[in-house]
Every structure is written in C-alpha cells, then in structure tokens.
C-alpha cells in the first residue's frame, strides 16, 4: 500500500507498524486487524511499516527506523501497532517512543492491549508504563551496585587471606623493597611471589591492614 492511500475519506493519517521475528512467519493477521481497526476509526492510512525476520531485541530495525523518522517529520497523526512487544524491545524503549510521540504530538494505539494514548485510560496506562520503566532502572542500578559491593568485599577478603598466609619476614621485605623503588615484578622475583600477590598485599597495607 502506497503512502497517502485513503481507505476512508478524511480523518487522521495513520502509520501502521507490523513485525515478525522470523522469515517463515507472516504479518497477515496483524495487517487484517490493524486495517480493519483503521477503517472503523475513520483513519486515513498514510503508510504501512513492516519488519520481517527482526527480533524484538534488535536495536535497529529498518521499518521501525523509517517510522520514527517520518514521525519526526509529522507525516502522520497516529501510530497503530498490533501489540506492545511487536513495536518496542523493552519497557524503556516503549516509554521513550511514547514520550517522543506525545511531544510531536502523535497518538499511539496498541490494538491487543486496547490502549489509546490520547484517551483518559491511555494516559493512565502511560503513567503505569512510566512507573514500571523507573522500577526497572532502579532494580538494574541496585543490582550493579550490589555486584560492585560484593566484588570489593571478595577483593578485600582475598587480600586479607594472602596477607595472613604470607610470612611476616617476607611482608617486611616487600615493604622495604617497595620503599627502595622496586616494581611489583622485581619484588615478586625477590620474595618468590607473583607480582599480583605483591600488589594485593601493598594495597592492603596502604589500606591499613597490618601484619602482626
């Protein structure tokens, strides 16, 4: 179907987006549902954008990219999608797109979820999606922070074990050699320890981990 082809006279210009993940799948069902919906709402179909054999996780999809470019040029007034996951790869991606559409302004309708962003219910769902996206970001941030804390804890524990297992005389020798300007590799050769063990010991010493 070519741009600007009208199924019904007048009405808002609609962009219809379809996607399937593999080449052996078909967008036929999505096309039937969205075209019928467009007719029922009195929309003029500006264009249909179709991504075939593109995973929902793909960061770049040719038809989706064209749709967003046409949206920025205000070539249509409403975007119709069959389902959220046909259009967006994540809640964050969906929220970003919805925010962009709202500022243009362009309406967004998801057929299966029965969401019309221009309606009061759609506004409520947009608020919920925003909250979910924020929750996802907070969870990811906390997981990263917890991972960093655990890594630091394991590093300190490893350093303490190596210090305790090292002979006090060798520890003194390491300090003395370091004060004389020797590097980690040279000190390691002298005391028959790996340069990494020497480095960890010195890190612990600088952090006031004392050997009795």
Annotated domain spans of the chain: 13-118, 150-206
- Of 21, 85, 87, whose CA–CA distance to 55 is shortest? 21
**Residue 156 pLDDT greater than 70, yes or no:** no
pLDDT in tens, 7-53: 444 589 999 999 998 888 999 999 999 999 999 999 999 999 999 98
pLDDT for residue 130: 63
Range 13-118 has CATH code 3.40.50.1390: yes
Q: State the pLDDT at residue 128.
A: 74
- Pick the closest to residue 109 from 120, 118, 99 (CA basis): 118
The answer, yes or no, to whether residue 129 has pLDDT greater than 70, is: no
Q: Residue 211 has what DSSP assignment?
A: -
Active site residue 21: yes
- Considering the entire predicted model, what is its pTM? 0.57
Select the more confidently predicted residue: 11 or 144: 11
Catalytic one of 21, 96, 118, 208: 21
Closest CA to 84 of 71, 74, 73, 93: 93
The stretch 75-98 carries a mean pLDDT of 87
């Amino acid at each position: 179907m070519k741009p600007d082809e009208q199924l019904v006279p007048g009405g808002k210009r609609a962009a219809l987006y379809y996607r399937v993940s593999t080449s052996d799948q078909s967008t036929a069902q999505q096309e039937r549902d969205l075209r019928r919906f467009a007719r029922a709402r009195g929309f003029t179909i500006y264009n249909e954008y179709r991504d075939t054999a593109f995973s929902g996780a793909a960061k770049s999809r040719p038809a989706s990219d064209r749709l967003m470019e046409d949206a920025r040029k205000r070539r249509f007034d409403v975007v119709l999608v069959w389902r959220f996951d046909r259009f967006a790869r994540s809640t964050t991606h969906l929220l970003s797109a919805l925010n962009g559409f709202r500022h243009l302004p362009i309406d967004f309708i998801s057929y299966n979820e029965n969401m019309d962003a221009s309606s009061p219910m759609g506004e409520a769902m947009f608020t919920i999606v925003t909250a979910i996206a924020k929750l996802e970001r907070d969870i990811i941030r906390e997981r990263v922070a917890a991972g960093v804390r655990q890594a630091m804890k394991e590093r300190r524990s490893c350093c303490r074990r190596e210090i305790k297992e090292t002979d006090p005389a060798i520890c003194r020798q390491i300090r003395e050699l370091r004060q004389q300007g020797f590097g980690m590799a040279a000190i390691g050769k002298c005391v028959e320890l790996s340069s990494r063990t020497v480095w960890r010991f010195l890190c612990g010493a600088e952090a006031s981990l004392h050997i009795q």
